[in-house]
Amino acid sequence: MIKIYHNPRCTKSRQGLQALESSGEQFEIIKYLDTIPTKEELKKVLKSLNMPAELLVRKNEAIWKENFRGKELSEDEIIEAMIKYPKLIERPIVIKGNKAVIGRPTEKIHALLKQ
């Protein structure tokens, strides 16, 4: 099953959702601001993305700048920050099987669906 971690208020996330809708594939929408991922779920997503937690953080968010910028944080501390402040999570994230992409640009989603 394909999943999209989606924020309806985000233009890029809505474009990612549109790409999935037009693909004709079945998928599940996870509104991650309402249903915050657990630590285990985020670790699984990061493994599927094949990236460290720091690369999944939206560093231009005020929450990051005010609370975390310039600090030495462990992988677990960054994951905990994203759970406490889910707005920090980059979006959209599309997962297919054990592979995932951050869906910007939407071509990344199309490439994932072809795999």
Catalytic machinery residues:
10
Q: For the stretch 51-74, what's the b/e string if a residue is b when 16 or more beta carbons lie within 10 angstroms of its beta carbon?
A: eebeebbeeebebbeeebeeeeee
CA distance 25 to 79: 30
CA distance 14 to 82: 21
CA distance 36 to 89: 10
Per the CB < 8 A criterion, the answer to whether 99 and 112 are in contact is yes
